[in-house]
Amino acid sequence: MTFKDLNIISMKDFSRDTIDHILNTAEKLEPVARGLEKSDLLDGKVLSLLFFEPSTRTRMSFETAMIRLGGRVLNLGSVEASSIAKGESLADTIRVVEGYSDAIVLRHPKEGSAQMASELVSVPIINAGDGAGHHPTQTFLDLYTIRQESHLDGVKIAIAGDLKYGRTVHSLCYALSLYGAEITLVSPKELRLPDEIIYDLKKRNIKVTQTDSIEEAIRNIEVLYVTRIQKERFPDPAEYNKVASNLLITPQLLEKADPKLKIMHPLPRINEIDPRVDDTDHACYFNQSFYGVPVRMALLALVMGVLE
Amino acid sequence: MTPNKSPTQKRELRVRPIENGTVIDHIKAGQSLNVLRILGIPDSSEDVVSVVINASGEHGKKDVVKIENRELNVREVDKITLIAPNAVINIIRHFDVFEKKHVVIPQNIEGVVRCINPNCISNSSEPVTSKFTVTSAKGKIVLQCKYCERVITENIADRLL
């Protein structure tokens, strides 16, 4: 597979071999990501960041990745201060920015926006979230975290929280299916993974179980992936509090878990994980957000054609 | 006193042969009015259009549409395929069947169906044409949006552009 000029739109475009190659490349670049080694791999290259929705980790880790590899970053800045506020279409914006950049990172509230952008320009488009659609670079860094902190092949993983609306969860489940994972889905009934995704996973012979009890799920897993439960999904605040407290990860709960269990969270967390968990060996969510840097470095170096 | 009509004459009255035009046969029973909608009838045709609903066919009930003095183009046929995947299109010239073709399900369609997802980029003001991949499962058409990947299986006729 040639990576040069490849668009990163959806995990479904990637085979296991391709994902492995990206993760291996990230691993080689990790010392650069940590600032232990210097690199000028992307010297003279320009990356444009077009974020039409708020972002902290994704935007900053792309910036860091580019800077660590010696490249430069152009930032659209706030939508209010750009031509978008004058009514310019995304299509026009993308075509203009193509002239300034070697690759474009796009986050946009509409599903399919990155796919449309990729049809309009010849520089690679990296999807950093298209509405409730895909967020493939998050999935790559999640896979990398699982590989570095535990193991990927046949991993026993529980995914807890909002599985219905969480865009990271759908892509992650798909990717985990390529590695023969055993997946336990933990959520209240109203936030369960959509049936078509469960059907799709079972079709791939993936062992999937569903439960609403975190206590039940925690006993026999190697990785626990916690997602944020959005308050606004619940018309009744009391109902939100009930659901959130049932899924809360506490040190007491973790006494029942395998000592090697790793806990991940795409962050920001609100109150899904008790801060006392942060100091245990289980917590790896801050490592996870760091791993976004080597993974994005690998993707940038590959799509800009400086690594193969 | 009205003379008795022969069975042949009765059939003649129901489905009159046309001299030139198109006969769309084997439309799934109940879908003929949607076929007319796809073809923009009556606005797009000055000539006579006949519709038979619930005719007996080899595989149960079917609908038939006869359009005089009009031969369908590829885009129209593509649309018909989506709601009547078993249809047969007969081009009639001088009362004879000049060409008979089974509709072929296209692999991809562009600008034919509106995506069901209101938040899909193809439903925005951006200059983008809707695109779907088309598959069929158990005789049912399945459309998947190339942009947001949402799947449409029901009420496709209501989504036609």
Contact A136, A200 (CB under 8 A): no
Q: Please give the pLDDT value at position B15.
A: 64
- Please state which CATH class domain B19-102 belongs to: alpha beta
Q: Look at A111 and B127 and tell me if their CB atoms are within 8 Å.
A: no
Task: Name every chain A residue with its beta carbon within 8 A of the beta carbon of B125.
Answer: 89
- Please state which CATH class domain B108-159 belongs to: mainly beta
Provide CATH 3.40.50.1370 ranges for chain A: 11-134+292-303, 137-288
- Please state which CATH class domain A11-134+292-303 belongs to: alpha beta
Q: Which residue has the tokens 């895909």?
A: A134
How large is the ipTM? 0.89
Query: What is the number of other CB atoms lying within 10 angstroms of the CB of residue A126?
Result: 25
Is a pLDDT exceeding 80 seen at residue A218? yes
Q: Look at A113 and B121 and tell me if their CB atoms are within 8 Å.
A: yes
User: Would you give the DSSP letter of residue A192?
Assistant: P
Q: Look at B121 and A132 and tell me if their CB atoms are within 8 Å.
A: no
A87 pLDDT band (50/70/90 cuts)? confident
Mean of the per-residue pLDDT values of chain A: 93
Of A10, A116, A131, Cβ closest to residue B126? A116
Q: Please give the pLDDT value at position B3.
A: 53
A108 pLDDT band (50/70/90 cuts)? very high
d(CA A61, CA A43): 18
Q: Chain B: residue nearest A119 by CA?
A: B128
Q: Please measure the distance between the N-terminal and C-terminal CA atoms of chain B and give it in whole angstroms.
A: 52
Q: Taking the domains of chain B in order of start, what are their residue ranges?
A: 19-102, 108-159
pLDDT (mean) for A90-101? 97
Q: Please give the pLDDT value at position A240.
A: 86
Q: In a 3-state reduction of DSSP, which class is residue B90?
A: strand
Q: Please give the pLDDT value at position B98.
A: 94
How many contacts (CB atoms, under 8 Å) link A and B? 50
Residue scoring higher pLDDT (A252 or A197): A252
- Alpha helix locations (H) across chain B? 7-14, 32-38, 74-83, 156-159
Contact B49, B36 (CB under 8 A): yes
Of A89, A111, A196, Cβ closest to residue B117? A111
Residue A31's Cα: distance from chain center in Å? 21
pLDDT (mean) for A120-132? 95
Question: Which pLDDT tens digit goes with each residue over A143-187?
Answer: 999 999 999 999 999 999 989 877 678 889 999 999 999 999 999
Pick the CATH number of A137-288 from 3.40.50.1370, 3.40.50.300, 3.90.45.10, 3.30.360.10: 3.40.50.1370
Residues of chain B whose pLDDT is less than 50? 1-2, 12
Query: What is the number of other CB atoms lying within 10 angstroms of the CB of residue B39?
Result: 21
pLDDT (mean) for A232-252? 87
Question: Which pLDDT tens digit goes with each residue over A15-61?
Answer: 999 999 999 999 999 999 999 999 999 999 999 999 999 888 999 99
Tell me the percentage of chain A whose pLDDT exceeds 90: 76
Half-sphere exposure of A107 (CA within 13 A, CB side): 23
Is a pLDDT exceeding 90 seen at residue A78? no
Of B119, B122, B125, Cβ closest to residue A131? B119
pLDDT (mean) for A201-215? 90
